[in-house]
């Protein structure tokens, strides 16, 4: 979990430098740093899988046949490679999102970074607002 350790180390440093009162793009500084760290550390997992699958698809015979027919590189990419990558990107993206939620919840549980439960991803599920009916 490099994102967990990195966020745990970087967040207090950024908060000390910037101060706790300023907002960054509408987020509190601690939450913004957590989002940036999770985003920076979690993309490599999906990128490795996409790259390996693309290199595997590149050697398949249906791409050779598409080249012989005269398809452009863009056409091959959109019609042949991308449809084969979408299921893997979606499945691994779901795992990455689950890991990001886990890291965010773990850091919130520790409380050292200052995120409150009401600003986490599941705000609407944990703290529903009362709706007044007229």
For the whole prediction, is pTM greater than 0.85?
A: no
Quick: pLDDT tens for 20-40: 667 777 767 777 777 888 888
Cα–Cα distance for residue pair 134/25, rounded to 1 Å: 35
Cα–Cα distance for residue pair 85/51, rounded to 1 Å: 10
Name the band, by pLDDT with cuts 50, 70 and 90, for residue 118. very low
Predicted local confidence at residue 30, as pLDDT: 72
What residue spans define the domains of the chain?
A: 2-126
Quick: pLDDT tens for 42-99: 888 889 999 999 999 989 999 999 999 999 999 999 999 999 999 999 999 999 888 8
Predicted local confidence at residue 6, as pLDDT: 82
Tell me the average pLDDT across 102-116.
Answer: 71
Predicted local confidence at residue 72, as pLDDT: 93
């Amino acid at each position: 979990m490099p994102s967990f350790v990195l966020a745990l180390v970087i967040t207090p440093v950024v908060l000390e430098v910037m101060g706790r009162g300023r907002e960054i793009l509408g987020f509190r500084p601690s939450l913004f740093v957590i989002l940036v760290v999770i985003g920076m550390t979690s993309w490599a997992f999906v990128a490795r899988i996409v790259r390996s699958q693309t290199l595997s698809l590149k050697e398949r015979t249906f791409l050779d046949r598409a080249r012989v027919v005269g398809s452009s590189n863009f056409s091959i990419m959109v019609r042949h490679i991308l449809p084969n990558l979408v299921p893997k990107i979606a499945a691994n993206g779901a795992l990455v999102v689950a890991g990001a939620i886990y890291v965010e919840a773990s850091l919130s549980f520790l409380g050292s970074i200052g995120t409150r439960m009401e600003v986490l991803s599941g705000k609407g599920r944990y703290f529903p607002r009362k709706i007044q009916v007229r």
